[in-house]
Chains A and B, each alone.
Chain A
Amino acid sequence: MDFPILSLITWTPFLSALIIMAFARHNPLLVRMTGVIGSSITLVASIWLYFNYDHAKAGYQFFEWFPLVPSLGIHYQLAVDGFGLVLTLLTAIILFAGSFASWTVKTRGQEFYALLLLLVTGVFGVFASLDLFVLFLFYEIAVLPMYLLIAIWGSSGEVRPQGVFGWAFKRTGVGTKEYAAMKLTLYLLLGSAFILVGMLALYTAAGSTSFSLLDLQQVKFDPALQSWVFLFFYVGFGVLAGIFPLHTWSPDGHASAPTAVSMLHAGVLMKLGAYGLLRLGFGLTPDGAMQWAWLVGGIACINIVYGALSAMSQKDLKYVVAYSSVSHMGIVMLGMATLTEQGINGSVFQMVAHGIMTGLFFALVGLVYEKAHSRDIFKMGGFATMMPGIATGFVVGGFSSLGLPATAGFVAEFLTFVGAWQSAHSWWLFPGVIGAFLTAIYVLRVVKQIFFGPKSEDPHFQNLPDAQGTEWVALVFLVTILIVFGVFPAIIAGPIDSATVALLNHMGVAR
């Protein structure tokens, strides 16, 4: 066996977390340095992984295999294909930026970094696992720390308990950021319940011998079983991907979470949902996927338009970004539902592009809040003169978000729209385009109001500093990558395409 590079990437954050808890307690600088070193190692290893992946051969590479519970057919089995490769790279990029963006966490810093790194271990594990059961375990690791991260270090903002949980909260007296944390955790675990039952159904239908994705792919499941198992996967992973109407945890959660957690969650964790659906839903139950593609695409259209409209009506800057994630995840789901090569390429490209731009946005919102202590769009104004760096980042991120050429967002949206037009439901193109148009409205409105509008008279908003020191790292890094991926899309489009072709061949879809 070769060098276990995937295990290195997966477990380095976990080891860093252990080191932080064991040795670096009560030494804030050491905690941060350990976090940054750990994330740098994973970034370097991910880049190494990218360059050593045999792009000509494609398919699953870097196999690792180790029996865990042989009697149940559970093995620690890792490998990446094109999808896993680019998403691992994305995760490493966001983690690297996030570990710098958390520099200013003040209370209980060592626990914050440890939980953050633990969570990332789960994310890497999901992208690399070929064993469904291990994938599920990693999925849970990725979801659970979120509760504490939001409940302890979050901000209460304007979140108020509403709806069915309202009465329960009054009686147990939980505060509002805890409401967001609880809502997010329960929604995501609800999703994992559906995933678990779907997984077990496939496992028993295949003869209860193996949880390996490769083995299960060989089995031709009964179409009726495929149909409902796909729906289970769609609901289960869809919750995490923010599908309408199960998306409501996302704005509350992302708006309440601390900066780095929002970056990771919106940037990477939501992609776990889309990736899981693509890998398990489309890969294992292709008949179900084809049967329900109209539903996936239809709901994705609602996501795109509804998310954009909701983002337009927000006053809180962080909510704007959070709702824009709902809209952009709609594009991811739409691309997938087209069942065309361009569409799925666009879908995965959008996962990467949205991951980076939403990471950038949340980092910027965090910076603005650091300086101005406000997230209210209509109170702030004319910040561009005081913080040109942050303003530049915001404008580039915004352009990518609305799909301007030469940014990663353009490539993703273009591919998706081509796919939508080629698909059986060509009308899907129109909600997509309307969504892109609405995105332009809300992004430009925010940019104009906060950075280029008339200068605010409020004494709190005078002489604010620009980004400083380590804060520049995340900013410059993410802006650069956004443009590099926009100008040279082949860097990630190549591996994605190889995996897409393999997936479509497996599904037996005519291209």
Chain B
Amino acid sequence: MNPLSPLGLEVGLGLLMLVVLLLGIFRPAVPDRRAGWVSLIGLFSLVALSFAAAPAEAILGGSYVVDALALFAKRLFLVSAAISVLATLSLPSERFARRGAEYHFALLSSLLGMLVLASARDLILLFVAFELMSIPLYFLTGFEKKQDTAPEGALKFFLVGSVSSAILLYGLSFLFGATGSTDIAVIAGAVASGNVLAKFGLVIALAGLGFKIAAVPFHMWVPDTYEAATTPFVAWLSVAPKAAGFIVIFRLYLEGAGSSALVWVPLVSALAAVTIIAGNLMAIPQTNVKRMLAYSGIAHIGYMLMGIAAISASGAGMVLFYLVAYLFGNMGAFLVVQAVGTSEGSDKMDAYKGLAQRSPVLALSLLVFLLSLGGIPFVAGFWAKLFIFRAVVDQHMYGLALLGAVATIVALYYYLVLSSRMYVDEPEQKTPVAVPAPLLLAILICAIGTVVMGIYPEPWVQGVMKAARGLF
């Protein structure tokens, strides 16, 4: 089979999963890292393959598309997974090394769900892919089962996730009932012709998707889950499934809907506004950096929802741009948390005191990530926010743009508090923070991505606009 055919990436990932599974079965008595290395090499080859692939015709009767948007999303999922697996190689726990195959197998199967999800244009395929993505995530959250927080976080995540899947399915059942079809193109037509039941189904489905992307008021699971899980996994969890949720929103609400998508403007704007305000305010009192990043991540989801509220090709494209900037910034920040947490044994803010004098590279990287998340010029996040605001202003939603802009100041407050821990405070001990080489490499990849996007955003803008143009 031609490796660049529409299903090439999925088939390749499936083969990789089989290899990892076999490694788990025939593992030596001593703990080893082979599963991790194999996954890493496999993922990097798949990343290369995905960048060589070109958009193709829809297959399986139009229910499986490989358009520019699907391809863009797949690249994003693969890159984020590769960075996460690279960082996972640095995890010190012995137990982890012994169960490495299980961990990587679960992660890859979730990734497979995402790859299929990006291409699904049929409700059943979409839901199956959604579950394939979600279920391994519950397992991965509770992976370090001997730590007492892990089962709690995993259970919370599992219960909320299952309920939200059920709600999503309930909403989708309305769509099928109203239109008699599971084809998303047919559904878009029904919404355009003003079918009330179909609209009702989409509202309910939005609640289900709201849980997945962690928009307020469906965000409760996020901080506890993030705190419980291993940090390299959280870095991935905070980016890839959210991106998948946005791709589903694009497919269900925007694609082919044309001007009838405007009915979602009030709903999505309100959701965006509430998410931005609540996420930022709840981040302020946090003293645990992981929790702070969890809440700030919720606020970032709000900004992306703003881009969707603009209901335009530039709005959707800028959501994708934001996702890429968020991938580098947020994953990078979590990976620095991993480095400091491993060395200091704490994720508290106080562990970051004087980091600039102990490990300048680590501190500078975290500063870059925080500035990017805060939307300061010359790093990726600035352009992301600017483009989102511009898309919103283009639709004359000045109030929403102002709210977003003012909320960035709130966000900068807690980012600055953490920065001043690193740069202003004196360190309690002078020894540098030990960073394993794979983790450092992953951090540097994120930092370089953030800075390059910030200094030269033009090609990235072209890329996302190409991906988003097919939606309208």
Residues of A that sit less than 8 Å from B by CB: 69, 71, 137, 140-141, 144, 147-148, 151-152, 168, 171-172, 174, 178, 181-182, 185-186, 189-190, 193-194, 196-197, 200-201, 203-204, 208, 228, 232
Contact call A69/B458, Cβ cutoff below 8 A: yes
CB neighbours (8 Å) of A190 from chain B are 406, 409
Contact call A148/B389, Cβ cutoff below 8 A: no
* Given A171-B287, A189-B409, A189-B412, A201-B423 contact (CB < 8 Å): no
Question: A69-B458, A182-B416, A200-B389 given. 6 additional CB < 8 A pairs?
Answer: A147-B420, A148-B423, A171-B287, A172-B285, A182-B413, A193-B408
* Given A151-B420, A182-B413, A200-B390 contact (CB < 8 Å): yes
CA distance A228 to B398 in the complex (A): 10
CB distance from B353 to the nearest CB of A (A): 11
Contact call A197/B409, Cβ cutoff below 8 A: no
7 tightest A-B CB contacts, nearest first:
A193-B405, A200-B393, A151-B424, A190-B409, A189-B409, A140-B377, A137-B377
CA distance A147 to B409 in the complex (A): 14
Contact call A174/B420, Cβ cutoff below 8 A: yes
Partner of A140, one of B376, B423, B461: B376
CB distance from A71 to the nearest CB of B (A): 7
CB distance from A199 to the nearest CB of B (A): 10
Centre residue among A147, A168, A197, A203 by max chain B CB count within 10 A? A197
Contact call A196/B287, Cβ cutoff below 8 A: no
B284 in contact (CB, < 8 A): yes
Partner of B409, one of A140, A152, A193: A193
B394 in contact (CB, < 8 A): yes
CB distance from A61 to the nearest CB of B (A): 28
| Chain B stretch 367-404: residues in CB contact (< 8 A) with chain A | 376-378, 386, 389-390, 393-394, 398, 401-402
* Given A152-B424, A182-B413, A200-B393, A172-B402 contact (CB < 8 Å): no
CA distance A178 to B412 in the complex (A): 14
Q: What are 6 pairs between A and B in contact, CB < 8 Å?
A: A140-B377, A148-B423, A151-B424, A172-B287, A194-B402, A204-B394
CB distance from A4 to the nearest CB of B (A): 21
Question: How would you classify the secondary structure of chain A's contact residues: helix, strand, loop or mixed?
Answer: helix
Contact call B412/A197, Cβ cutoff below 8 A: no
CA distance A191 to B401 in the complex (A): 14
CA distance A223 to B412 in the complex (A): 34
CB neighbours (8 Å) of A181 from chain B are 420
Contact call B409/A204, Cβ cutoff below 8 A: no
Contact call B389/A174, Cβ cutoff below 8 A: no
CA distance A193 to B287 in the complex (A): 27
CA distance A355 to B304 in the complex (A): 43
Partner of A71, one of B287, B402, B409, B458: B458
Interface size on B, residues (CB 8 A): 29
Task: Mark contacts of B414-457 with chain A using CB atoms, 8 A cut-off: 1 yes-contact digit, 0 otherwise.
Answer: 00110010011000000000000000000000000000000001
CB neighbours (8 Å) of A197 from chain B are 389, 393, 398, 401-402, 405
Closest to A111 in B: B423
B349 in contact (CB, < 8 A): yes
CA distance A189 to B405 in the complex (A): 9
CA distance A357 to B76 in the complex (A): 56
CA distance A472 to B401 in the complex (A): 50
CB neighbours (8 Å) of A201 from chain B are 393, 398
CA distance A469 to B458 in the complex (A): 52
CB neighbours (8 Å) of A189 from chain B are 408-409, 412
Contact call A168/B285, Cβ cutoff below 8 A: yes
Partner of B285, one of A69, A171, A194, A208: A171
CB neighbours (8 Å) of A186 from chain B are 409, 412-413
Closest to B378 in A: A137
CB distance from A366 to the nearest CB of B (A): 21
CB neighbours (8 Å) of A152 from chain B are 423-424
Contact call A185/B416, Cβ cutoff below 8 A: yes
CA distance A174 to B418 in the complex (A): 11
Task: Mark contacts of B320-340 with chain A using CB atoms, 8 A cut-off: 1 yes-contact digit, 0 otherwise.
Answer: 000000000000000000000
CA distance A69 to B408 in the complex (A): 24
CB distance from B311 to the nearest CB of A (A): 16
CA distance A189 to B409 in the complex (A): 6
CA distance A152 to B402 in the complex (A): 32
* Given A193-B405, A197-B401, A147-B394 contact (CB < 8 Å): no
Centre residue among B284, B376, B402, B416 by max chain A CB count within 10 A? B416
CA distance A204 to B395 in the complex (A): 10
CB distance from A390 to the nearest CB of B (A): 31
Partner of A148, one of B284, B393, B424: B424
CA distance A178 to B417 in the complex (A): 9
Partner of B389, one of A144, A168, A196, A232: A196
Contact call A185/B402, Cβ cutoff below 8 A: no
CB distance from A154 to the nearest CB of B (A): 10
Contact call A144/B376, Cβ cutoff below 8 A: yes
* Given A172-B349, A194-B405, A197-B401, A204-B390 contact (CB < 8 Å): yes
Closest to B385 in A: A196
CB neighbours (8 Å) of B420 from chain A are 147, 151, 174, 178, 181
